[in-house]
Chains A and B, each alone.
Chain A
Amino acid sequence: MEITKNEDAQFMLLAGFIIAIGLVITTVMLNNIIFESNMAGEAGGDPIKYDVVNLMRISGDEMKSAYRNATNVSAPNDKMIANFTVQMNNFSANLPKIYALHGEGVNVNWDVNNWKNGYYANFTDNGTASGAANWTVIENVMDSNITVNLTTITTPFNICVTSSTKTWQINFTTAPENRTISSSQIIANISSPYTISIINGSNASGKFNIKGNASGKNFIRSRDYILYSTVTLSTSIMRANITIPVSVPW
């Protein structure tokens, strides 16, 4: 029975090993717990949607601007469209460089068929046949001149000028018709400030231009054509390709 009398501490060594292994096991388990409770997934909002909306917006604004610049000088239609294309080409060549810095690939295309062929827009909110037919162009107007060039009409179609107490309805019945309603004509019928609305806008197509002063500021609401802008945006995880109508010049 040498082992019971041996005091060289071999069992203490063994105990040391057991404790060491125990510590390792405990550490691994604790580590697992910490890891699981901290496992983060993909959370938070999605910032790419703002980039897409922004791209839709700026490409629309650029088309409006290019249209205004191109139509500012009197020239044949083909020449104006060529000038418009120059500005848009410039825009669409530079835009991808800016977005590329954010890791996004973008492309902008435009469709000027309506302009080229002289297809005027509907008098709806967004200019398309399916857009809202009854809509308010502008509120709180002090004075304004309204020019309407109708190309097609199915009655009823009218423009309503409404003050807080009274409504003056301007009816249109025949097309083609160019009509200008001056500030003094409006004031003779209704007192300012007033609201200008279009009623049954889907029944007619053509151009309009409303210039004046509202809420102390000058404004222009004008539409010649509806052009289409197609924007594509792609990132490593997302792709979007969206076509939106753009009302030009404003």
Chain B
Amino acid sequence: MNPKNFLKNEDAVSITVGFILILFITILVFSATILSFYTLTLHSQQAAMRESFDILGSGFVARVTSMDTLVNITRSNGGTVNQVEYDFSIPATIANEGYGINITKERIFLDAENDAKAWIPFNSSYNITEQIYSNAQDYRLSYDNNTNSMIIEQQ
């Protein structure tokens, strides 16, 4: 083939074959884009869960410490806490995953099956040891005057 002719030749392939080629290329590019987004979603799911755990845990810690403060203030005044109760709800899933919350006197630990975890340290003067799961959403945090401890009950 004459190189001069090759440069000027515009025959290439038929429109149909050209279209099929272009379509394949498009599909390949799209698949690559979507796959890359998929891995991105996986990462962002974990990140989103950690973020949500932090927010959820901090909200919970705020309640525990405020209950702690109320009880401490009352007791230092020689008073009696007849009742202090907080109702709270936790979401059934965070980023489509169920999770568990473990609470002790020193820290709150949230974790899910996909290895997303979060610790929030705090310190309460009264005992609290509870494990709750997201399969039930409505709980009640209350102070028990007889045992000097905080308990969580499912509603």
Interface residues of A (CB under 8 A from B): 3-5, 7, 11-12, 15, 18-19, 22, 25-26, 29-30, 32-33, 36-37, 39-46, 48-49, 52-53, 56, 126-128, 130-131, 230, 232, 236-245
Query: What residues on B are CB-neighbors of A49 within 8 Å?
Result: 66-67, 69-70
Decide: B78 and A36 in contact? CB cutoff 8 A.
no
Give chain B's interface residue range (CB within 8 Å of chain A).
35 or more
| A29-B37, A36-B45, A244-B74 given; 5 more Cβ-contact pairs under 8 Å | A128-B78, A239-B85, A242-B70, A244-B80, A245-B79
Decide: B41 and A33 in contact? CB cutoff 8 A.
yes
B136 at the interface (CB under 8 A from A): no
Can you sample 6 A-B contacts with CB below 8 Å?
A4-B14, A4-B17, A29-B37, A237-B88, A240-B83, A241-B81
**Least distance between A19 CB and chain B CB atoms (Å):** 8
Would you give the 0/1 interface string for B22-45, flagging 1 where the beta carbon is closer than 8 Å to chain A? 110010001001100110110011
Taking each of A44, A46, A126, A236, which has the highest tally of chain B beta carbons within 10 Å of its own beta carbon? A46
Decide: A46 and B63 in contact? CB cutoff 8 A.
yes
B122 at the interface (CB under 8 A from A): no
Decide: B79 and A46 in contact? CB cutoff 8 A.
no
Residues 79-133 of B at the A interface (beta carbon under 8 Å): 79-88, 91, 94-95
Decide: A36 and B84 in contact? CB cutoff 8 A.
no
Q: How far is the CA of A238 from the CA of B33 in the complex (A)?
A: 49
With contacts defined as CB atoms under 8 Å apart, how many contacts are there between chain A and chain B in the complex? Answer: 128
B77 at the interface (CB under 8 A from A): yes
Query: What residues on B are CB-neighbors of A19 within 8 Å?
Result: 26
Closest to B51 in A: A37
Decide: B37 and A127 in contact? CB cutoff 8 A.
no
